[in-house]
């Protein structure tokens, strides 16, 4: 039987991602289980990158861990617990259980498998990080840096999307364009920092006036703002504008 567990450092538990027994459908699978990280002395060297080979687990310190003790009673035999090291960190553990004690050549093979598995996990983690970074960059590319509301680029896409939806469904759509009067004079009088603060407060006020999740406020450019109100007739748009 093979189990692959990820160590959640901050929460101090092991999460089972894989529970596999070739040729046998296990009565109970531990996939998705979060196992508390006990004070079992055997786990300390594992988290330091050492391989644990236990030929007689029923008489070893492994039995002080309730979860592992349950597994030992269910699956007696030779145990090997290998660290899955990603970079300088132990990402998790690779537990291998067989009926007979482990041979040296089997241990070497298991270490080789664990190393390849750790490389695959590292590549997966890096890929996920890259995906997350790309998503964050996409979000940032759609936000106005000052007001933190959608920018003109997102507004153009959203208006086109909602315009098409309104056409298909035969629903109304309203658009509010808002321009801040005398903003240049305000900027010249009080300075650019005060002008920036003013625009941020205006963006917050516009955002607060929206009533539904599908409504959008965006910075159209400079001191100009735009609000897209899907499925809204002019009377509803006027109420939003007055608010």
Could you give the residue numbers annotated as active site? 223
Facing residues of 97 across strands?
A: 79
Cα separation, 5 vs 16, in Å, equals 4
Find tokens 């030929």 and name the residue. Answer: 55
Reported in sequence order, the residue ranges of the chain that DSSP labels E, i.e. its strands, are 2-8, 13-20, 34-36, 52-54, 78-86, 89-98, 173-179, 216-221, 224-230
Q: Give which of 34, 71, 29, 77 is closest to 53, Cα–Cα.
A: 77
CB proximity list for 165: less than 8 A, separation 6 or greater? 171, 230
Would you call 203 helix, strand, or coil by DSSP?
Answer: helix
Cα separation, 45 vs 96, in Å, equals 17
What is the per-residue burial (b if ≥16 Cβ within 10 Å, else e) of 18-52?
ebeeeeeeeeeebeebebebbebebbeebeeeeeb
């Amino acid at each position: 039987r093979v189990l692959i567990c990820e160590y959640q450092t901050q929460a101090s538990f092991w999460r089972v991602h894989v529970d596999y027994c070739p040729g046998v459908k296990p009565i109970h699978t531990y996939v998705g289980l979060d196992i508390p990280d006990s004070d079992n002395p055997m786990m300390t060297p594992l988290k330091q990158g050492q391989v644990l080979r236990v030929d007689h687990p029923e008489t070893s310190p492994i039995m002080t861990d309730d979860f592992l003790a349950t597994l030992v009673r269910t699956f007696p035999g030779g145990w090997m617990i290998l660290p899955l090291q990603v970079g300088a960190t132990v990402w998790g553990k690779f537990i291998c259980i067989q009926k007979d004690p482990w041979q040296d050549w089997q241990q070497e093979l298991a270490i080789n498998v664990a190393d390849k598995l750790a490389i695959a996990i590292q590549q997966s983690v890096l890929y996920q990080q890259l995906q997350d970074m790309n998503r964050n960059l996409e979000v940032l590319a759609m936000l106005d840096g000052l007001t933190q509301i959608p920018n003109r680029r997102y507004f153009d896409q959203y208006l086109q999307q909602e315009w098409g939806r309104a056409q298909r469904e035969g629903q109304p759509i309203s658009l509010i364009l808002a321009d801040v009067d005398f903003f240049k004079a305000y900027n010249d009088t009080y300075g650019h920092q005060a002008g920036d603060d003013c625009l941020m407060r205006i963006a917050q006020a516009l955002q607060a006036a929206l009533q539904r999740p599908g409504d959008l406020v965006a910075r159209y450019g400079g001191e100009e703002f735009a609000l897209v109100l899907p499925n809204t007739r002019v009377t509803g748009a006027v109420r939003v504008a007055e608010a």
